[in-house]
Amino acid sequence: MTIDDIDFNALYKQHLIACNHYHLPPDKWDKKAPKMAENLVGKPSRYNAQLMAAMQMQPDETLLDIGCGPGTFAVPLAQHCRQVYALDYSTGMLAALAEFKHALQLDNLHLLHKSWADNWDDVPAADVVLASRSTLVDDLDDMIAKICAKAKKRVYLTSVTQRHFLDEGVFSAIGRDDVGFPTYIYLLNRLYQKGIQANLNFIETESGRFMGETYEDLLASVEFSLGALNEQEKQRLAEFYRQKQQHNEPIKHGQPKWALIWWDVA
Ligand SMILES: C[S@@+](CC[C@H](N)C(=O)[O-])C[C@H]1O[C@@H](n2cnc3c(N)ncnc32)[C@H](O)[C@@H]1O
């Protein structure tokens, strides 16, 4: 057997099903929208700065931002570029983005309510295609085909390097092992198998921080990744939270590093 015998899309799908993130419904993201709008849009971060620097967007260029969220990149880039098409399947995220569009009078920012999985015939092509932290798609081949159909000049995708977004202490606290998310290596390999030799860099982030304020926020973040906890797991998580509070220790959620996968369109 050689690496060419491995179907990285099939393997990826198996992994996504195993970690309960296959067909993730948009309302899971709707709930996160207000906090993400507050924490991400217009807020300087190492992640945002490094991705912006890598993209080198020019004032005469157009952007298709897939899984745009509340506008982390769509908002600043609409202030800088010719046209921005911001696509997301979460109405909550698009509502947050619409508020920025309205407040900043961004007439060149166009909101597209669509999923990666929908028909994209009416999605405009753009000079640059971006999918930042929104590449846990159901089907890598479909994603690659859509990106290739829409990108005129350059593509930038970011993907996870670590299998968990949760503080590792959570797993020992609640007594669960979890397969975690499929990392960037599936996507990089599948691109290669599709004839795209993409570049790979890494984006270092501030050490991850749990952005919530209460135990209920922590529970919501854990259940977002792992599905519903049973009563015993909830009690153990509450004790973990109490200990962290008592010792004034941070809860380290997040990805310390993201993979940046990018290529020039030939
Ligand atoms: C972690 S947020 C990233 C937001 C923004 N791109 C950023 O980097 O800050 C992921 C976004 O992808 C969107 N998303 C997830 N799955 C999607 C899908 N299948 N189709 C379209 N958007 C999706 C979510 O609604 C959410 O807004």
Tokens found for residue 228: 């519903």
Determine which residue's CA is closest to atom 14 belonging to ligand 1: 67
* Superfamily name and number for 3-210+255-264: Vaccinia Virus protein VP39 (3.40.50.150)
Q: Which H or E run contains 72?
A: none
Helices (H), 81-214: 91-104, 140-150, 168-174, 184-193
Whether 203 is in the pocket of ligand 1, judged by its Cβ within 6 Å, is no
Whether 158 is in the pocket of ligand 1, judged by its Cβ within 6 Å, is no
pLDDT at 19: 86
- What is the DSSP pairing of strand 109-113 with strand 62-66? unpaired
Mutate to test the pocket of ligand 1, among 134, 136, 156, 221 (most ligand atoms within 8 A of CB): 134
- Amino acid of residue 30: D
pLDDT at 164: 87
Whether 97 is in the pocket of ligand 1, judged by its Cβ within 6 Å, is no
Cα distance between residue 129 and residue 151, in whole Å: 6
- The residue among 133, 129, 134, 122 whose CA lies nearest residue 148 is 129
pLDDT at 20: 77
Give the pLDDT of the chain (266 residues) as one tens digit per residue.
999 999 999 999 999 999 877 788 999 899 999 999 999 999 999 999 999 999 999 999 999 999 999 999 999 999 999 999 999 999 999 999 999 999 999 999 999 999 999 999 999 999 999 999 999 999 999 999 999 999 999 999 999 999 888 998 999 999 988 888 999 999 999 999 999 999 999 999 976 667 667 899 999 989 988 889 999 999 999 999 999 999 988 888 888 899 999 999 97
